[in-house]
Structure 1
Amino acid sequence: MTDSDPVIAQVERWLQDVVVGLNLCPFARKPMRAGQIRFVVSEATNDAVLLEELLDEFQVLDRTPLEEVETSLLILPTHLRDFHDYNFFLQEAEWLLKRQGYEGVYQIASFHPHYQFAGTDPDDAENLTNRAPYPILHTLREESLERGLQNYPDPDSIPHNNILRVESLSDDEKRALFPYLFS
């Protein structure tokens, strides 16, 4: 798929406006500006196919120098639209990571339009920190993550700062940044 794909365009806008714009991930700006983020639209309609696609992403990162592709976003426009199904699938994704020997090499970050942290209500603002236009499996290189964390003054403050940031958004700002939640 190309950057003109509407699914990719929507995810790129979310990255620019929410993740980078609100500074929810202080490490995202550099690879985004450098064009080092790989966007892949999944065609999976079941978990087995999605696991194959995820393994393919690990292998693409294996073959591609960090300078070309630092991270990968596997976007799921049709599969795992239910958050509980998605959350259950994350266990399978972690199992794949370990079984294929990628533990300590890659890490999977999760995003979903209906993301809900344990112990929160669906409408709690902190859930916005992981809400995206589509379910996404974000494969990060551990090497990049460790380097970013070493150079960040207080990495433990990131989640708390993110919660404060999204809690400070007005209703109009939320509608503008997360239009897919209000349609």
Structure 2
Amino acid sequence: MHIAATPTDAQVEADIRRWLERAVIGLNLCPFAKAVYAKEQVRIVISDASTASALLEQLGEELVLLRDTPATQTDTTLLVHPQVLGDFLDYNDFLDTADALVEALQLEGVLQVASFHPDYQFAGTAPDDAENLTNRAPYPCLHLLREDSVARAVAAYPEPDSIIERNIKTMQALGAEGFAALLNK
């Protein structure tokens, strides 16, 4: 029996950067990501949390830090948490808690939390459906976004409603094996 070694923070960050560069930006899954990534305005935080409560505390700290940091310095934050919420259903349940924290911090309409997970599954889909690949990342990840940045990006993008449909077609063409190969080159 082979037990996988726990990845180092440096390996987790390298895997997340590879996913960002090859999938999110490389496949143009998020047409808004390239500019902020190129300007080094994406903060990547590797959490050492091993419980949901510790992660929630760190999420609160990161939300406040993002709120208090100029967008020109940090426009968005990826809070990667490889040691907690590896089970997608637990992770999905945690998202309600994350949204409640945004509300408790009075950040509704200011910041939002998007979700990425290695086993991501949209409601009403089968686990192997290609559209789930659009939200699959190497590790569980909470993506903290500024509402005004999202609004500006969407307003400047021609036909933003076409992004989801295009992403699904991209993932259907690539398939799970192609997606895995893309991240493991």
Q: Per the shorter chain, which TM-score range?
A: over 0.9
Aligned residue in 1 for 2:98: 93
Aligned pair partner of 2:11 in 6, 15, 25 = 6
Select 2:49's aligned residue among 20, 28, 44: 44
Indicate the larger mover: 70-79 or 55-64: 55-64
Q: What's the CA shift for 1:175?
A: 2.9
Q: Report the Cα distance in structure 1 between the residues aligned to 2:86 and 2:38, rounded to whole angstroms.
A: 29
**Deviant stretches of 4+, over 6 Å:** none
Residue number in structure 2 paired with 1:20:
25
C-alpha distance after superposition, 1:124-163 (max 9, x if no partner): 1110000000000000000100000110111111111110
Pick the aligned partner of 1:81 from 57, 82, 86. 86
1:156 aligns with 2:131: no
Partner Cα separation in structure 1 for residue 100 and residue 177 of structure 2: 40
The sequence identity of aligned pairs, in percent, is 50
Say yes or no: does 1:143 pair with 2:148. yes
User: Are 1:32 and 2:49 matched, yes or no?
Assistant: no
How far residue 176 of structure 1 moved from its aligned partner, in angstroms, is: 1.1
Once the two structures are TM-superposed, the CA of residue 47 in structure 1 deviates from its matched residue by 1.6
Cα 1:106–1:11 change in 2 (3 A) is: same
Q: What do you get for the CA RMSD once the two structures are aligned?
A: 1.3
Return the alpha-carbon distance in structure 2 between the equivalents of residues 71 and 33 of structure 1: 13
TM-score, length-scaled by structure 2: 0.92
SS in 1 for 2:145: strand
Which structure 1 residue ranges, 5 or more long, are not aligned? Answer: none
Does residue 124 in structure 1 map to residue 129 in structure 2?
Answer: yes
The alpha carbon displacement at 1:170 in A equals 5.2
Distance 1:137 1:171, change over 3 A: closer
Which sections of structure 2, spanning at least 5 residues, go unmatched? Answer: 1-8
SS in 1 for 2:103: helix
Normalising by structure 1, what TM-score? 0.92
SS at match of 1:169: helix
* Partner AA of 2:26 in structure 1: G
- AA aligned opposite 1:23: N
Q: Which residue of 2 aligns with 1:69?
A: 74
Counting matched residue pairs gives 176
Q: Which amino acid counterpart does residue 73 of structure 2 have in structure 1? A: E
Inter-partner Cα distance in structure 2 for 1:79 and 1:117 = 20
